């Protein structure tokens, strides 16, 4: 019986590894990766939309939370997933779990491992997706209609579409894209993969409209010919539901505490 072990990063294939690698090398593939708290929503729904997508491999780590999680009618231990649609030549990396605490070494090792897998699987373009909340200057004075910012990495030269802007030191307050959302395309670029980080513009941490904006930007940049309108509508409607709940909570707090009392909106920016 083959032993099952989890190390700093452990990879387990759900398909015949050698046969799949040979198949993947016949195509010029794209990989989209998302990580918690919101970026993983995009590749998750994409792989659900693609009828031929299959789960290629799982990544385990002892840096993931110590728990077992329900899936359908069974429980499983924490892992990230890579799915593949041969028809679309698209890999979807669903990063399901953050580290149990912020461990820089773990984040670097994780991102490096994914980048090296992408290289082996003949990924020519790599995208990470996430959310940014632009409260800092000069975002407040930007023209309306910008729904996503794109970080470009070494050797990446695509044009951005309408409603999307390049992210530079001039227009990004903290000059950074945190954790694996920035590390992964950084590593991939060093391996010769054309790499981008797309951050949808949100107004609050749970703003799913930002995910819809990031998804549209990804489609435009990658040229992916997939109808995602249902996903975008679902994300927008979910955002509206969250906003209604937040408004009710705000009104209830005002009645309880008195008008004018309450915390300011978070200024935290993340991928």
* Structure tokens belonging to residue 118: 């992408």
Give Cβ neighbours of residue 163 (< 8 Å, ≥ 6 apart). 145, 146, 147, 148, 213, 216, 217
28-47: burial string, b at 16+ Cβ within 10 Å, e else = ebbbbbbbbebbbbbbbbbb
Q: Are 148 and 220 in contact (CB under 8 A)?
A: no
Question: Residue 1: its pLDDT value, please?
Answer: 54
Which pair of tokens denotes residue 29? 């593939």
What distance in Å separates the CA atoms of residue 132 and residue 144, rounded to the nearest whole number?
Answer: 15
Q: Which of 106, 92, 101 is nearest to 61 (CA)?
A: 106
pLDDT at residue 263, rounded to an integer? 38
Pairwise CA distance, residues 112 & 131, whole Å: 22
Q: Beta strand pairing status for 90-94 and 74-76?
A: unpaired
Q: Per residue of the chain (271 residues), give pLDDT as tens.
A: 578 899 999 999 999 999 999 999 999 999 999 999 899 999 999 999 999 999 999 999 999 999 998 887 899 999 999 999 999 999 999 999 888 777 889 999 999 999 999 999 999 999 999 998 776 555 555 567 888 999 999 988 898 888 888 887 765 556 678 889 999 999 999 999 999 999 998 887 788 889 999 999 999 999 999 888 888 888 888 877 777 877 787 777 765 554 444 334 443 334 4
CA nearest to 161, candidates 152, 150, 153, 170: 150
Question: Does an H or E element contain 127, and which?
Answer: strand 123-132
Q: Which pLDDT score is estimated for 141?
A: 56
What pLDDT was estimated at residue 139?
54
Which of these, 120, 80, 73, 109, lies nearest to 96 by C-alpha position? 80
Quote the distance between the C-alpha of residue 134 and its chain's center: 18
Q: What is the pLDDT of residue 99?
A: 81
Separation between Cα atoms, residue 198 and residue 181, nearest integer Å = 9
**DSSP 8-class letter at 14:** S
Q: What is the pLDDT of residue 255?
A: 58
* 25, two tokens: 């090398």
Contact between 175 and 149 (Cβ < 8 Å): no
Under DSSP, the state recorded for 140 is G
Provide the pLDDT for residue 20.
Answer: 97
Structure tokens at 60: 């385990």
pLDDT confidence of residue 172? 55
Cα separation, 167 vs 170, in Å, equals 8
Based on its alpha-carbon atoms, the radius of gyration of the chain, rounded to whole angstroms, reads 19
Q: Cβ distance 132 to 199 under 8 Å? A: yes
């Amino acid at each position: 019986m083959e032993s099952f072990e989890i190390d700093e990063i452990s990879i387990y294939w759900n398909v015949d590894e050698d046969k799949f690698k040979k198949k993947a090398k016949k195509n010029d593939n794209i990989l989209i990766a998302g990580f918690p708290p919101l970026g993983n929503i995009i590749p998750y729904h994409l792989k659900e939309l693609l009828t031929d997508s299959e789960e290629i491999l799982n990544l385990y780590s002892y840096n993931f939370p110590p728990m077992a999680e329900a899936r359908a009618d069974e429980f499983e231990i924490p892992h990230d997933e890579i799915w593949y649609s041969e028809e679309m030549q698209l890999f979807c990396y669903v990063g399901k779990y953050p580290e149990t605490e912020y461990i820089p070494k773990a984040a670097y090792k994780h991102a490096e491992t994914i980048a090296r897998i992408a290289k082996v699987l003949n990924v020519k373009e790599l995208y990470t997706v996430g959310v940014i909340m632009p409260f800092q200057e000069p975002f407040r004075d930007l023209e309306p209609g910008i729904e996503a910012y794109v970080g470009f990495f070494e050797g990446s030269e695509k044009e951005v579409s309408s409603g999307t802007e390049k992210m530079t030191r001039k227009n990004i307050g903290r000059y950074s894209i945190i954790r694996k959302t920035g590390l992964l395309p950084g590593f991939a670029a060093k391996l010769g993969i054309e790499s981008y980080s797309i951050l949808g513009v949100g107004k609050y941490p749970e703003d799913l409209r930002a995910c819809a904006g990031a998804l549209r930007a990804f489609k435009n940049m990658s040229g992916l010919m997939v109808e995602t309108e249902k996903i975008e509508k679902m994300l927008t409607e979910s955002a509206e539901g969250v906003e209604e709940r937040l408004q009710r909570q705000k009104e209830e707090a005002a009645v309880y505490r008195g008008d004018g009392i309450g915390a300011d909106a978070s200024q935290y920016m993340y991928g």
